[in-house]
Amino acid sequence: MIKVEGLTRAYGSFIAVDDISFECRPGTVTGFLGPNGAGKTTTMRVMVGLTPPTRGDVTIGGLHYQDIPNPGRHVGVLLDASAQHAGRSGREVLEIGARTMGLSSQRVDEMLALVSLDARESKRRVRNYSLGMRQRLGIAHALLGEPTVLILDEPANGLDPAGIRWMRGLLKGYADQGGTVLLSSHLLHEVEQIADEMILIGNGKIVARGTRDELLRSATRGETTTLVTALDNHQLAEALSGKGYEVHQAGDGLRVTAEPVDVGRVAAEKQIVLTDLRAGHEGGLEDLFLELTADTQRDILPNEVSA
Amino acid sequence: MTTTASDTLDVSGTPGIPFSRLFRVELRKSADTRAGRWLIGVTIGLCLLAEVIFLIVAATHDDAEASFGDFVAVSAFVSSVLLPVLGIMLVTSEWSQRTAMTTFALEPRRMRIVLAKMLAGMALTLFVIVFALVVGFVCNVLLGAFRPQGSDWTFGFTGFLGFLITQTFAMLGGFALASLLLNTPAAIVVFFAYKWVLPVLLFWGSALMDWFDHLRPWIDFQAAQGELYDLPMTGSQWGHLVVSGIIWLVIPLAIGLWRIRRAEVK
């Protein structure tokens, strides 16, 4: 539905987006992941015609954005929740959008209810909104025209945990009804639970893409690790090493290069009481994310990323 | 192959946004913020204040001349000072408040938005002129009630026509500077310099330098507009208006529009 082909955007000698291509399919949520300044926002801005591409092409449903009549009715856009007139009330922001698209004020009420902004909040000026409220308002604005495509830049930014869960449900339901969703984030955990496909971008280039499982498989390079905590970690570590498994300290427990079932078997054999035993790839995706985008990270990471 | 979800966008049932809708939305946007409302409120308040002062002076001085046209002129002049600021803000607030991102995402054909804003600015000019007429009418009736000689309904139509045109130029001038600078305070400051300071500088220049005195009529847009109050104008006066107008209105507006058309909206 969204098709990016060979997109490049340069600012002088700085290449913000470097020859990227990907597609977002209807009925799916695509997560666009990368650290700050990786080129996510620039890509999304090119999609909706706010930034001209240096090279390459973006089409939505086969059309260039500027050729979509009344585009708000087809593509819902949230690029920056703070980019609203501070002197306007939240309700007025939606009212203007609704009028431009030719929708009734009733639609404004529906959207306010959907994002849980009550009547009193909606009459307050956007200046007095928290980032979370602005984000809700922005999502309401993107959904106003009942679009079939959603392009959201960092929509979870500023939302509280309940808000993030709410948004997940909203977007999931949206995709289940056949909608196409592209959302960006610099936080892996915001995206990995909802995205059907993830695109990792760093330094303007796509560094990895695939479903969560596909990425995980490449993250662990086929190795299986297990995270385990016992009442006596020391004893367990010795027992596991004795069986030839590689053991590392990881937080309160151990990271073992083995299947959980093998670790459990060793513990049972030695009658060691376990308090926690699970597959150890949770951190794998995050490690992969950090590793792939390491060149663009602003912060120097410690060598061992704890689980 | 299943056809659960189509990969193309069906836009056959979606008409484009009619221009009249964009115009109405832009008109609404000029007055739906606190800054906009304040500006309109202050303009109306100042107009009324000036009218009351003028009314008191006229009513208490038997020899004071005050006609319907004079009353209208008072309101018209006071409002003309602040009105272009409203026109400037219509453009610049989109950039300073970064709402241009939303506006141009909903209507990517940017020139339609700009045209809608321009027409909204002109509609506001018209609204203010009608307001001046109404206030002038009421004040003149009041004055007639206070004075033994009654109301004087003289109304200079050519002067009024000239005012209408210069007001529209002022609005467009503000609009041009706004699109050129895309920054509210800068556009307002430059506009006031352009409208009130520049003519004085040009006047001094021509008083000091002989060669400049010959050149000035061709580059002094405000002076050239002054002749509009005294219609009909001669051929050379029209020439002055067109040439100075191209320099101070058409060129900045063209560059400003080109800038908006090309600008990356951040």
CB contact, 8 Å: B13 with chain A? no
Spatial contact of B101 and B44, defined as CB atoms under 8 Å apart: no
Beta bridge partners of A9: A17
Amino acid at A275: T
Per-residue pLDDT band at B1 (split at 50, 70, 90):
very low
**Nearest CA of chain A to the CA of B189: how many Å?**
22
Supply the mean pLDDT for chain B.
Answer: 87
What pairs with residue A78 in β-bridges? A152
ipTM above 0.85, yes or no: yes
Residue A303 has pLDDT above 70, yes or no: no
| pLDDT for residue B224 is more than 70 | yes
Interface test with B, best of A24, A85, A88, A141 (most B CBs within 10 A): A85
Least Cα distance to B260 among B172, B168, B175 occurs for B175
Domain ranges of chain B: 19-261
pLDDT digits (tens, 9 = 90+) for A4-21: 999 999 999 999 999 999
Q: What confidence score (pLDDT) does residue B167 get?
A: 87
Q: Do B14 and A74 touch (CB under 8 A)?
A: yes
* Secondary structure of residue B6 in the 3-state scheme: coil
Q: How far apart are CA A132 and CA A152, in angstroms?
A: 15
Which residues in chain A have their CB less than 8 angstroms from residue B265's CB?
45, 50-51
Q: Are A125 and A88 in contact (CB under 8 A)?
A: yes
Q: How far apart are CA A22 and CA A3, in angstroms?
A: 6
Instruction: For A73, name the nearest residue in chain B, comparing CA atoms only.
Output: B14
Q: Which chain B residues have a beta carbon less than 8 Å from that of A87?
A: 33-36, 97
Q: Which residue has the higher pLDDT, A171 or A285?
A: A171
Give tens-digit pLDDT for A160-183. Answer: 989 999 999 999 999 999 999 999
Contact A178 B21 (CB under 8 A): no
Pick the closest to residue A98 from A114, A112, A86, A87 (CA basis).
A112
User: Which B residues, 183 through 242, put their C-beta within 8 Å of a C-beta on chain A?
Assistant: none
- Residue B221 main-chain phi, psi, to 5 deg: -65, -40
Instruction: Please report the pLDDT score of residue A306 as a whole number.
Output: 44
Q: Report the residue of chain A nearest B22, measured CA to CA.
A: A100
How far is Cα B244 from Cα B83, in angstroms, rounded to an integer?
Answer: 22
Looking at residue A216, its pLDDT comes to: 76
Tokens representing B94 are 């989109």
Q: What would the pLDDT profile of A200-247 be if each residue is shown by its tens digit?
A: 998 899 988 998 878 877 766 667 788 899 998 889 999 999 888 888
β-pairing, A55-60 with A29-33?
A: unpaired
pLDDT tens-digit map of A193-202 = 889 999 999 8
User: Is B107 in Cβ contact with A63 (below 8 Å)?
Assistant: no
pLDDT band at B86 (very low <50, low <70, confident <90, very high): confident
Chain B residues with CB inside 8 Å of A125's CB?
A: 34
Please write the tens of the pLDDT for every residue from A71-110: 999 999 999 998 999 999 999 999 999 999 999 999 999 9
What pLDDT shows up at residue A304?
45
Cβ A70–B8 below 8 Å, yes or no? no
Choose from A13-27, B68-82, B196-210 the range with maximum mean pLDDT: A13-27
Bridge-based pairing of strands A205-210 and A197-202 is antiparallel
DSSP B195: I
Residues of chain A contacting B17 with CB distance shorter than 8 Å: 69-70, 100-102
In this structure, what DSSP letter does residue B233 have? Answer: P
Closest chain B residue to A66 measured between Cα atoms?
A: B108
- pLDDT above 70 for A301: no
The pLDDT of residue A295 is 62
Q: Which of A162, A217, A215 is nearest to A188 (CA)?
A: A215
From chain B residues 20-39, the ones with a CB under 8 A of any chain A CB are 21-22, 24-25, 28-29, 32-36
Give me the domains of chain A, ranges plus CATH numbers. 2-210 (3.40.50.300), 225-280 (3.30.70)
A vs B: CB pairs below 8 A: 119
pTM of the model: 0.84
Q: Do B105 and A71 touch (CB under 8 A)?
A: yes
